[in-house]
């Protein structure tokens, strides 16, 4: 039996537009809440709905512009989660989160049924790690609800020999065609180079350096490097989870024109971006 779901398009549009509104004015911060037992960084910490809601409120208070909730770990070697299990993790949390977080909410999923269920409770953005190309009903679901979407580059396998930037450009052109054909407005799309997904370490660095070229497509660029394995071996200092490497990479990406950043450590990034913005705005002397 097909689920019959309805969407509050006005509320979704308000959250969607609030997410995109700061683009071009200041860096936009997407705070991460994983309700998974096996995420690489914080698996199990926020699996309980009360803990996840408290964490989301904390990130919003620290300056997150949106809270991104995921219920399936997509780290290398992860075990896929069936849609009903994914939704069982999300359902106890999402309605309260939409009502109480104080910022828009996005859902990190590549399954259209999960996205539809989340949109029906007021989530405003779908964050799809397969860029609308894994589930053929994803783009229509986004369009029907009037939501925004983050289109991420991904690959089934890693091939160190390919030109990863050219591959990303081709991938994004396909995703954008899918979005447009379904009726998703260009104004409601952001692109994510997919750091750590289907790329060698060198290709991850190449993808990070490609921000200026990717921006020629005309869409905001979201960077998701928070605590990822590309920073293994770099000094962590006393901070959890490769924070120094994450901050450095995100500031370089911001200097190259990236506008959105998906992070675990919101307060530290808000402070760093305030300094970044102040220095960029300060008039030069001499």
Domain parsing of the chain, residue ranges: 21-279
Q: In the sheet where 148-152 sits, what is the strand order?
A: 189-192, 148-152, 125-128, 105-108, 66-70, 28-34, 260-263, 222-223
Residue found under tokens 């990130």: 59
Q: pLDDT band for 238, please (50, 70, 90 cuts).
A: very low
User: How far is the C-alpha of 177 from the C-alpha of 132, rounded, in Å?
Assistant: 10
The pLDDT assigned to 104 comes to 98
Q: Supply the pTM of this predicted model.
A: 0.92
Identify the pLDDT of residue 74.
73
* Interstrand relation of 66-70 and 28-34 (parallel, antiparallel or unpaired): parallel
Partners of 127 in beta bridges: 108, 150
Q: What average pLDDT does this structure show over 112-125?
A: 98
pLDDT band of 232, cuts 50, 70, 90: low
Contact present, 145 and 119 (Cβ < 8 Å) = yes
Helices and strands per DSSP (H, E), number in the chain? 10, 8
Using CA atoms, how far apart are residues 227 and 242, in angstroms rounded to an integer?
Answer: 5
Q: Is 180 a catalytic residue?
A: no
Active site residue 111: no
**Confidence (pLDDT) at 132:** 98
pLDDT band at 228 (very low <50, low <70, confident <90, very high): confident
Contacts (Cβ under 8 Å, ≥6 apart) of 139: 132, 149, 178, 179, 181, 182, 184
277 C-beta neighbours (distance < 10 Å), count:
14
Q: Which of 227, 228, 242, 270 is catalytic?
A: 228
What does the pLDDT read at residue 286? 62
For the cut 70, the answer to whether the pLDDT of residue 230 exceeds it is: yes
User: What does the pLDDT look like over 28-82, one tens digit per residue?
Assistant: 999 999 998 744 454 456 668 888 999 999 999 999 999 999 999 776 656 788 9
> What is 21-279's CATH topology?
TIM Barrel (3.20.20)
CA-based R_g, the chain, Å: 18
- List the catalytic residue out of 111, 117, 227, 262: 262
CA 90 to mean position of chain CA atoms: 17
What is the tens place of the pLDDT at every residue in 143-156?
999 999 999 999 99
The band of 130, judged by pLDDT with boundaries at 50, 70 and 90, is very high
Higher pLDDT, 107 or 231: 107
């Amino acid at each position: 039996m097909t689920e019959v779901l309805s969407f509050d398009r006005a509320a979704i549009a308000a959250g969607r537009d609030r997410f995109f509104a700061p683009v071009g004015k200041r860096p936009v911060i997407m705070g991460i809440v994983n309700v998974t037992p096996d995420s690489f960084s914080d698996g199990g910490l926020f699996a309980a709905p009360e803990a996840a809601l408290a964490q989301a409120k904390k990130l919003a208070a620290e300056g997150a512009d949106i809270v991104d909730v995921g219920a399936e770990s997509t780290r290398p070697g992860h075990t896929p989660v069936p849609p009903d299990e994914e939704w069982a993790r999300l359902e106890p949390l999402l309605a309260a989160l939409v009502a109480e977080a104080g910022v828009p909410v996005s859902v990190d999923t590549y399954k259209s049924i999960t996205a539809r269920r989340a949109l029906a409770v007021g989530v405003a953005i779908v964050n799809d790690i397969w860029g609308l190309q894994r589930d053929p009903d994803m783009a229509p679901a986004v369009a029907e609800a009037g939501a925004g979407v983050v289109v991420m580059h991904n690959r089934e396998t890693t091939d160190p020999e390919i030109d990863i930037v050219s591959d990303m450009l081709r991938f994004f052109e396909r995703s954008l065609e899918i979005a447009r054909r379904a009726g998703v407005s260009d104004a409601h799309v952001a692109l994510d180079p997919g750091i750590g997904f289907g790329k060698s370490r060198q290709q991850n660095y190449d993808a990070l350096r490609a921000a200026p070229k990717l921006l020629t497509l005309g869409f905001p660029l979201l960077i998701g490097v928070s605590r990822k394995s590309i920073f293994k071996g770099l000094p962590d200092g006393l901070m959890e989870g490769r924070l120094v490497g994450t901050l450095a990479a995100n500031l370089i990406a911001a200097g190259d024109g990236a506008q959105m950043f998906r992070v675990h450590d919101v307060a530290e990034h808000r402070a760093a971006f305030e300094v970044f913005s102040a220095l960029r705005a300060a008039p030069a002397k001499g």
